[in-house]
Structure 1
């Protein structure tokens, strides 16, 4: 298992720029309004950074080419899952290589 992106992007750029405009452009439907509501309430500094980071993650999910397939599999109960114990075991194996 790897933390590398499944879908590559040209020049290694993220699908969604980590900017207010990039995030806004990527969000679907009413999520854009929610983003701006939180953004306008956040104070400069850690609070604003948190809003941007949270919504950037959501924007990345909204623009994932596999989003609809993954969502359907999750709804159907067929999405592959793993346990934290399995994840830790794999990480320990990689660390010893």
Structure 2
């Protein structure tokens, strides 16, 4: 038996399309209404782009299949953590290999 991803998407396609509809479809609960409220108040240009970018990030997190597990681990203090020094060391090790 092999594990298959719950949400099928290719590496070239984002899990959530960077569109108003894609973001709206991905948001959980009352967050969708909050998204539309901010969207309707934003002026075309950088302000609207900022709203879409911020909410796209939230939508990606809302659709993460591991979201609930990670949140629970963070709240209970059992989420594995690392230091920037460890990250830098691992990156350097990978570059050498």
Same fold, TM-score > 0.5, yes or no: yes
Q: How many angstroms apart in 1 are the aligned matches of 2:72 and 2:10?
A: 28
Judged with a 3 Å threshold, the aligned counterparts in structure 2 of structure 1 residues 44 and 10 are, in CA distance, closer, same or farther, namely same
Pick the structure with more helix per residue.
1
TM-score, normalised to structure 1's length? 0.79
4+ residue segments displaced more than 6 Å: none
1:51 counterpart = 2:46: no
TM-score, normalised to structure 2's length? 0.79
Match of 2:83 in 1: 83
Judged with a 3 Å threshold, the aligned counterparts in structure 2 of structure 1 residues 73 and 43 are, in CA distance, closer, same or farther, namely same
Q: Gaps spanning 5+ residues in structure 1: where?
A: 1-6
Q: Gaps spanning 5+ residues in structure 2: where?
A: 1-6
Match of 1:38 in 2: 38
Give the greater-gyration-radius structure (CA): 2
Size of the aligned set, in residue pairs, is 91
How far off its partner does 1:96 sit? 5.5
